[in-house]
Amino acid sequence: MELLGIFDLTIIIRVVSALLLGFAVGLEREMTNKYAGLRTNILVCLGACVFTIISIYGFPAITVASAELGTRDTARVAAQVVTGIGFIGGGTVLRHGATVFGLTTAATLFMSAAIGMACGAGMYDLAIISTIVSIITLVSVRIFEKNVLISSTKNTKRLKVNLSCLNKNATEIYDHIVDKYPSLKEISKKLSKSEENITKITFILDVKSRKPIQSMYKEFQNFEGIESVSIQEFCEA
Instruction: Report the run of H or E that residue 229 belongs to, with start and end.
Output: strand 226-233
Q: How many domains does the chain have?
A: 2
220 and 187 fall within a common domain:
yes
> Based on the domain organization, do 165 and 212 belong to the same domain?
yes
User: Is residue 233 very low, low, confident or very high in pLDDT (cuts 50, 70, 90)?
Assistant: confident
State whether 185 and 74 are in the same domain: no
The answer to whether residues 161 and 231 touch, using CB atoms and an 8 Å cutoff, is yes
141 and 172 assigned to the same domain: no
Range name among 33-37, 82-86, 167-171, 189-193 with the lowest pLDDT average: 33-37
SS3 category, 93: coil
Choose the weakest-confidence range: 2-6, 160-164, 192-196, 204-208.
2-6
pLDDT given at position 65: 55
Domain span at residue 171 reads 153-233
Instruction: Mark 10-32 as b/e (b = at least 16 C-beta within 10 Å).
Output: eeeebbebbbebbbbbbebbbee
Please tell me the predicted confidence (pLDDT) of residue 64.
Answer: 55
pLDDT at residue 210, as a whole number: 61
Residue after which a domain boundary falls, among 147, 175, 208: 147
pTM for the structure as a whole: 0.59
Q: Which contacts qualify for 107-112: CB closer than 8 Å, 24 or more apart?
A: 108/25, 108/29, 108/34, 108/36, 108/41, 108/134, 108/138, 109/36, 109/40, 109/41, 109/44, 109/85, 110/85, 110/86, 111/25, 112/22, 112/25, 112/26, 112/41, 112/44, 112/45, 112/48
Give per-residue pLDDT as tens, 86-133: 888 777 776 655 556 678 888 899 999 999 999 999 999 999 999 999
Share of the chain above pLDDT 70, in %: 79
Condensed to tens digits (0 to 9), the pLDDT of residues 192-219 reads: 888 888 899 898 888 776 667 777 777 7
Identify the DSSP state of 20.
H
Residue 173 has pLDDT above 60, yes or no: yes
Radius of gyration for the alpha carbons in the chain, expressed in angstroms and rounded: 26
pLDDT of residue 2: 44
Identify whether residues 160 and 142 lie together within a single domain: no
DSSP state of 210: S
